[in-house]
Structure 1
């Protein structure tokens, strides 16, 4: 699969950004280097530092990896990690199950794609990269005949959790899933013990999910390794499909 995108500001003959799927171990390592830079180096998480400069775990081998390159430099500037039902069966679980009890979603497992490790290079966060990744995500879900997207959306705890509490309190009134789709965090973030910030700042990725019709499926989990509060997000493909392609000139 290879897709290119040209925004209204970029009408050069050769599109600047190119979307594809990682097909070699070296391409996966390129993805892992970008994730390391964004998730560990840029966040100053020295406890997670590794000599090889790679962010990797046991899920990588069972997942597919969408990548966006700058065609001028060939540098990987964006990625999404996707776990389809066959990969989840092979592993015996979804990544989200490290943080949440997904028992109520058991009957949907054959129709779920889990997306994670969404990562964009700091110099390429104008919007085009995530739009291109999401167009690839929608195509991937159709190809695997899946109807639901799940994943975790992280909110930094650098401010002591005040923004995370404010975001959760704001979203649970408008975007909370029906009870049959609710999940339970294994290690809840203590929202009742932290004062909410006055002006919630919703992370861009989470905001994008919500604009596409996603739900949050309950209270946030506490991820002490990455110093974040994580919300479990679920979105039907019907809500995602076509929303972002309409804003861009996307051609497969």
Structure 2
């Protein structure tokens, strides 16, 4: 893998995405997420950047989110946070954490355009969350955890900030075969969510090792070395 520090690769790449309002989508990424056209139409155009690989909020369809406190790990331009804000209602709260200051600024701008007041965006490290223990009801993340070298730490932090019975809703990319040699020394391949991936079994093991009970898993039927994975897990009451 490239010798450049992963955090700097990610910060530099997504700062450019925020400045240019461009998608980072690739064929391998599979950004064709399961969002309704009506839901996306209500968002500012800049919030609809193709930065995800699924729809983690759809994993909560059996759970009422009204009044919940939701945390988004790697909020990007704010798409999932703004959609979650509609579901939690005025009595709920949404917090978005992102490593890149330019993305935080863009997400705040998108919230202002929508007049959304129950969302807060913070710059921070999702492996060291700036939140107290047992302070949120739902943690979601969309194609971000693969970008963090210490994935076990991210899941441990998610477990820490969740209240007992809280949900972890994740859409991410995992590998199902050997990666092309050309990707391994390419920082763009890391930033585009490819070379930071780990096998599905290792990913699920890391979630369970943090203390979660995995309730639901769905993977894409892709044929390449990287595929999308949707996971719903729960912190035991």
Instruction: Say whether the fold is shared (TM-score over 0.5).
Output: no
Q: Which TM-score band (shorter chain)?
A: 0.3 to 0.5
The two structures have a TM-score, normalised by structure 2, of 0.35
TM-score (norm 1): 0.33
Which protein shows a greater Rg?
Answer: 1
